[in-house]
Amino acid sequence: MKSSLRTVRLELAEPLRISRSTMAARDAVWLTVEHEELRGHGEAVTSVYYGLGTETLVRLLTAVDLSRFADPESALEALRAGELTTSDVPPAVTAAVESALLDLAGKRAGVPVHRLLGTTAPPVAATARTIGITALARAASEARRLAASGFEVIKVKAGAPDPEDDIERVRVIRDAAPRARLLLDPNGAWSVPQTDALLPRFAALGVAAVEQPVPPGDPDALGALAERAPLPVIADEDAVTLEDVRRLAGRVQGVNVKLAKCGGVHAALRIAELIEGSGTELMLGCLTASTLGLAPAVHLADRARWADLDGHLLLAHDPWTGIGGADGVVRTSGLAGLGVEEVTVRADVA
């Protein structure tokens, strides 16, 4: 097998502000693996939070030697056994490599990736759509537009300097889209006392669940908070590795699994198996990325209580197609492999 890389710039349709930053664009590095005239693709995106820049991703992906494997199936076996990448390789890199190999293996077998993972029916899921920290009028307008487009779940970013701004933003979004289920995500912006004071007010406004309200680093505090909270608490930044989730299983109501932070599809499946029956349920999340980057998670979407797979919908131009989502529902295309296709050939080569 041989592999190649391309780097592209993904511009957002508008800047997305969360509690710790505002993002207008990010780079994506595409890995293509070729074997017997078939190609498999994977994507890793840059992240300030995870300390992954473009040069780092290119260097790390270049260092993964796939030429020593006869086919993608044997490379996948090595990856699952921990023999393809070293333990210090970031999960986002491992996830991108696995994506390309799964895509290629599915195409070789002539079946979608979800069939390789043991699911017969094509996964379909209602996805949340994110509204960032923005002006009230803008939040209300966006909520109305999303509800009219078919979105049943809206995720509201929180963590403004004045928490009353968050309260009012949720209120106007609820009024603009009264039938939508609301999720809240402060990205760890609140202290424990703030969270205890705020969550009853958000529950009264109809918020269905909250992600990572307090800063990561103290899973015991998050677990204790979840026990007394008036609405479900979903761990995100505190739930990165399998061991993180093991500490939180049964203590929080949900864990947000992003393939780029846990290490890919099979790492996510191990987490799902770990929490089964514990009272902690699965949320599938994502980073802002293209359809290529989102597709592996969509093949798992039927296994999650919550799906937050809208990263591709935030882009000004998505260079891949195949998972939908503009109507509030993500789905696999039925094509072999990941089921995605590139719609624009880009010239910016890594």
The verdict on whether residue 211 carries a ligand-binding annotation is yes
Amino acid at 276: E
Catalytic, out of 2, 107, 155, 258: 258
List of residues 6+ apart from 60 with CB closer than 8 A: 89, 90, 93
CB-CB contact of 288 with 15 (8 Å): no
Angle at 16 between CA 346 and CA 168, to 5 degrees: 160
Alpha helices (H) along 64-191: 72-80, 91-109, 113-116, 136-149, 163-176
Active-site annotation holds for 157: yes
The burial class, CB within 10 Å (0-12 / 13-18 / 19+), for 298 is buried
Residue whose pair of structure tokens reads 């699994």 in the numeric block: 257
Task: Give CA–CA dist 151/326, Å, rounded.
Answer: 8
The verdict on whether residue 236 carries a ligand-binding annotation is yes
Task: Give CA–CA dist 218/214, Å, rounded.
Answer: 9
Enumerate the known binding-site residues for Mg(2+): 185, 211, 236
Q: Which residues are catalytic?
A: 157, 258
Enumerate the known binding-site residues: 185, 211, 236
